[in-house]
Each structure stands twice: as structure tokens, then as C-alpha cells.
Amino acid sequence: MTALLEVEDLKVAYGKIEAVKGISFSVEAGQVVTLIGTNGAGKTTTLRTLSGLLKPLSGKITFDGKPLTGVPAHKIVALGLAHSPEGRHIFPRLTIAENLQLGAFLRKDTAGIEKDIQRAYELFPILGERRKQAAGTLSGGEQQMLAMGRALMSQPKLLMLDEPSMGLSPIMMQKIMATIAELKAQGTTILLVEQNAQAALSLADQGHVMEVGKIVLSGTGQDLLHDESVRKAYLGED
Amino acid sequence: MNTLPQQLANGLLLGSMYGLIAIGYTMVYGIVQLINFAHGEIFMTGAFGALTVYFYILPDGTPMAVAVPLMLIGGGIVAILIAVGAERFAYRPLRGAPRLAPLITAIGLSLALQEVVRNFYPGADRARAFPGLDATHDLGSITIKDADIFLIVSAVVCMAALAYFVRKSRTGRAMQATAQDPDTAQLMGIDTNRIIVIAFAIGGFFAAVAAVAYGLKYGNVDYRMGFLMGLKAFTAAVLGGIGNIYGAMLGGLVLGIAETLASAYIDEIPGMQQLGGQSWANVWAFCLLIIVLLVRPQGLLGERVADRA
């Protein structure tokens, strides 16, 4: 069986500065794969390239059997790749319900959309309670829930989450991670970028460690959790 | 004739015209953070599009009730084509370029449009007669023309339709999303280029409506008519809070009324006898802009930049 997402020798540059220097990895359907690493390692750049917001310098991206390179961002969503961006980027002056509806922008099945909005409210009850409120008034953690709920509204084959725990309180972080675990249990395929390596690796089937634009180490989540160099560099042990 | 109610009505009418044109500035700015300084000239070409329909396409003696809607369509098509063409061929290639580049392009485009009309449209270098709607009606202490009724009705209809479109339609929702966060809008599957084209097209059409109203009201048009009207409408957009469609309309009305009242009454203030009359109207309009921006830099209905996530 071929992988759902296949990335081969991907290079991305901002002007002359190469941020991603030839990385290859794949995501199988049903898996949770995580990219971990410090700031500036190229994780966000990788996700933004996959969703079409950045154009790669070279390399090949194949999603669900189709090449993604050169496809504009707004058409990539239609193929089943949803991206919950770093910093959440909810639409602050639209209501929570409107944000969720925008997540289903390309869908035509009104009844199905309504059902999925209810499902998002079940997954995140706080969103249901505040559905008529402007999204900009939510707390950081609630905005993260909304961003994830919104990404799920497109019924993606692959959900990409960029730093879902960033800037959250420990309790909120646990909640978000528990939700990701729940999504995994439901069979959602997830590509997770995280600075919280401990949490990400505990969830992940596969993990890749990125350093300055390259993948320096790959393995199962458990392997990496117990890898000595990873423990030193990312899990704060010495 | 110069009673206060009459002056207020005059101001309201002038303000509606400013507001209609201001929509074009504010929608484009709201979505691509570009001041389309050629928008005044898009207004002007709309007037000439309508004039072309009247003088060169319709048979002589066509009743105005038939002619005006067709002139609106003709002017609208010309203004939309020029607005969308400007976006596609002048501004889009410069997206991502430093702010100054599209600004200078806009000024260049504005001059180019003026010169093309001046050189190639018969009689456009002088004031060219435009069919008027001059029948008057007395409503108590105020007198208005048919052209004024056309202006106020079309302004109300256009604004109501736009408000409904932006708030309720799927494309309007996509437009709000694009204005708030263009990258994330793309992640939702929104073709932001298409949204930008629609914003330019709506602005162009509204400018054409204002242009037809201008011609019907004042009875002549020329290649320079877009300069001052464009500048005033831009002032109205900034006054109301640029990026906000309700702000554009409110800014237009405030500016129109303030300008009209100032030129009518300011010379009654002792010591300011020389400062009244139409010749000072622009001075008072821009003074108002400066005062509002000192107190509320974001404009009347604008949001502080810090509120934008």
C-alpha cells in the first residue's frame, strides 16, 4: 500500500535562504506522524508548503496518489488536506459558527455540514456555548479548539496541526493533546508539528526530528521518546 | 432656497455620491491593503460609458425612464472592466512588492485613463453635456430634482444590497474571511484572487452608479471629473474608517453635510466673512478630515489596528 502523503527531497527557500533543505517522509492513512524540533527548524515551512501557501524550490509531494506541487492552496483543501495553522488564525470578527462554516466552504451538503458543526460542539462544548460570539473574544485555548474544529469541517483525509499547544496553559495543553488522542482513536490521520516533544511523541506512530531544515532522526514515537539524544535535546534531561 | 433643511438635503445628496464612490476605495483596501488611486478615474470612465450609451447607441428621443437603466448598465460595464483590468494587469503583478510600487502604479494609471479619455473621447476635454433629470419637486421647505431622487434611491438600494451580500451570501462570507486573514482564507478553499476581482468589480459598479447620478444632476462631465470626486470619496472612506463599508457610507454623508453647511453658513461667523461660499468647501472638507484623524486615527467606524489579530 502506498502512503497517503509522500514527501520526497523537498526544498523550500525564502528568497535565498533555504529553510527546508531536502527532506523526505511519508504519512500512512490512520497514522499520527509528528515533526519535532526547535524554532526555525523548518517545521512550519514544511506544513505551509504542503498546503500550498509556499512554493517549493524542488522536490516532490504526492497526496492520495496526486502530485501537489504547483496546485494552488485553495484547491489543495478540496483534495482532502486540511491545515490548522500555527498561531491558530481563526477569523476574529466572525462568530464561532461562521468560522466553522468557513471550514466547510467547499462542501455543498448543508445537512452534513450542520451535523459536523454539532459534532464539533460535542468535541468542544465551549464552542457550542459561545457559537454566536466573535471568535476574537475566545481565549487562546478556545481559539485552538476552534481552529482544529474548523480544519475538521472539511472532512479531511489528512489533518495537519501546527503547534496546537503553543502558548497554552498546562491544563489547556493537556486538553488539546487529549483531543488529538481522541481524534487518533477515531481513525483521523494527523501530521502534527509540535515543540512539546514529550506530548507529541507519546501520541505519534512515527516521529521525525528536524534541525535547521533537515530531518536528523526518524523512528517510532516510542523509540524517539527513549532515544538518548532526543531526551537530551528536546525533553530537557541531561 | 438656502434654508437649513435645503442645505441638509444638499449635503445628504452630495454625501451619498461620495459614499458610493468611497465603497470602491474601502473594499479594495479592506482586502488587499491597496489604495486604488485610479478609482476616481474609474468613476469618470463610468460616466463616459453611460454617455456613450445615451449619445451613440440609443436612438434620439429615447425616454429617460428607458435610457437611465441602460446608461447604468453601460457605465457599469465600462467601469467594471477597467477596475478588473487594473487589478489583473496593473496591481496583481505587484502583489508582494513594496507598498510604494502599487501606489505609484495607481497614480500612473489614473493619469493614463485621464489622458486616454481626453484625447480619444470626442469633446471630453471640455465639459461635455450629459442628459439631465431636471424636473423639480417641492417637498415642504426643500426642493429636489429627479436626478436627486435617482441618486438617493440608488445609493440606498446599492448599500442595502451590499450589506446583505457581505453578511449573508457565501461569497460575502468568503470576502470577510479574505479581508481578515488572506492566507487562512485560502486554507478554507477560498480562491482569494477571485474575491479580490469581485471587490474591484463591486467598487467599479458603485462608482458607475455615482457617475450616472453625477451626470444627471450636474448636466455635464469631463475627463477631470474623477480627480476631486475621487479625492473626496477617499477622504470619506478614511473619515469613516477605511476597510469598513458602513464607514464609507457614513464618512461620505458626514463629509457631504459638513462641507455643504460650512460653505453655506461659515461666513456668518464674525471674522470669517471671507471664508464662506463654494470656493472654500474643499478646505473645510479636509479640515474635518484632519480633525477627525487627530481624535480618532482609525476613523469613525474603524477598528484600531491592535484589534486586528
For the cut 70, the answer to whether the pLDDT of residue A237 exceeds it is: no
| Chain A contact present for B143, CB below 8 A | no
**pLDDT reading at B1 higher than 60:** no
| pLDDT over 90 (residue A121) | yes
Which CATH number characterizes residue A101's domain? 3.40.50.300
Distance between CA B58 and CA B133 in Å, rounded?
17
Range of A33's domain?
5-235
The pLDDT mean for chain B works out to 93
pLDDT digits (tens, 9 = 90+) for B10-27: 999 999 999 999 999 999
**Best mutation target, A50, A77, A102, to test chain B (most B CBs within 10 A):** A102
Beta carbons of B189 and A154 less than 8 Å apart? yes
For the cut 80, the answer to whether the pLDDT of residue B139 exceeds it is yes
- Flag if A92 and B309 touch (Cβ within 8 Å): yes
pLDDT score, position B276: 77
pLDDT over 50 at B307, yes or no: no
User: By the CB < 8 Å criterion, does A78 face chain B?
Assistant: yes
For residues B269-283, give the mean pLDDT.
Answer: 83
Cβ pair A105:B170 closer than 8 A: yes
User: Is A13 at the interface with chain B, CB within 8 A?
Assistant: no
Residue B88 has pLDDT above 90, yes or no: yes
Report yes or no: B1 at the A interface, CB cutoff 8 Å: no
| pLDDT of B208 over the 80 cut | yes
What pTM, to 2 d.p., does this model score?
A: 0.92
Task: Name the band, by pLDDT with cuts 50, 70 and 90, for residue A2.
Answer: confident
Q: What is the pLDDT averaged over residues B59-75?
A: 95
Task: For chain B, give the percent of residues with pLDDT over 70.
Answer: 97
Tell the burial category of A60 from Cβ atoms under 10 Å away from its Cβ (0-12, 13-18, 19+): middle
Interhelix angle for B39-52 vs B225-240, to 10°? Answer: 130
Chain B contact set for A103 (CB, 8 A): 188
Grid cell of B276 as nine digits: 464662506
Q: What is the mean pLDDT of residues A121-147?
A: 95
Pick from B174, B183, B309: which is nearest to A105 by CB?
A: B174
Q: Does A51 touch chain B (CB under 8 A)?
A: yes
Residue B308 contacts A where some CB pair is shorter than 8 Å: yes
Q: Is A149 on the interface with B (CB under 8 A)?
A: no
Angle at Cα A48 formed by Cα A35 and Cα B172, nearest 5°? 135
Tell me the H-state helices in A80-169. 96-103, 110-123, 125-129, 140-152
To probe the interface with B, which of A86, A91, A160 has the most B CB atoms within 10 Å? A91
How many CA atoms lie within 13 Å of A55's alpha carbon, on the beta-carbon side?
5
Q: For residue A40, what pLDDT is reported?
A: 87
- Mean of pLDDT values over B185-206: 97
* A172-181 average pLDDT score: 93
Best mutation target, A45, A93, A160, to test chain B (most B CBs within 10 A) = A93
- Length of chain B, in residues: 309
Strand, helix or coil at A21?
A: strand
pLDDT category at A238 given cuts 50, 70, 90 is: low
Q: Establish if B305 touches chain A: CB-CB under 8 angstroms.
A: no
User: How many domains, in total, are found in chain A?
Assistant: 1
Task: Answer yes or no: is pLDDT of B271 > 50.
Answer: yes
Whole-angstrom distance, CA of residue A108 vs CA of residue B108 = 43
pLDDT band at B309 (very low <50, low <70, confident <90, very high): very low
pLDDT at B308 over 60: no
Q: Which three cell numbers stand for residue B309?
A: 489579530
Q: Residue B168: which residues within 8 A CB-CB, separation 6 or more?
A: none
CB proximity B282 to A under 8 Å: no
CA distance A100 to B111: 45
Residue B275: pLDDT band (50, 70, 90) is: confident
- Residue A10: left if φ>0, alpha if ψ -120 to 50, beta else—which one? beta
Task: Note the pLDDT of residue B306.
Answer: 45
CA distance B177 to B199: 13
Q: With contacts defined as CB-CB under 8 Å, which chain A residues touch B191?
A: 72, 74
Which residues in chain A have Cβ-Cβ distances shorter than 8 Å to B183?
53, 73, 85, 89
pLDDT range class, residue B304, cuts 50, 70, 90: low
**Residues A218, A223, A229, A230, CA torsion sign:** positive
Q: What average pLDDT does the segment B173-185 reach?
A: 96
Q: Do B188 and A103 touch (CB under 8 A)?
A: yes
Quote ipTM for the complex. 0.93
What's the confidence (pLDDT) of residue B235?
95
The interface residues of chain B toward chain A in range 162-201, judged by CB-CB distance below 8 A, are: 170, 173-174, 176-177, 180-181, 183-192
**DSSP string covering A194-217:** ES-HHHHHHH-SEEEEEETTEEEE
What are the residue ranges spanned by the domains of chain B?
Answer: 4-224
Q: Is A155 exposed, middle or buried (0-12, 13-18, 19+ CB in 10 A)?
A: middle
Q: Are the beta carbons of A52 and B189 separated by less than 8 Å?
A: no
With CB atoms and an 8 Å threshold, state whether A98 touches B173.
Answer: yes
Is the pLDDT confidence value at B135 over 60?
yes
CB of A117 less than 8 A from some CB of B: no
Residues of A in contact with B170 (CB under 8 A): 105
pLDDT at A220 over 60: yes
Contact check, Cβ <8 Å, B187/A101: no
pLDDT, average across residues B75-95: 97
What's the pLDDT at A236?
Answer: 72
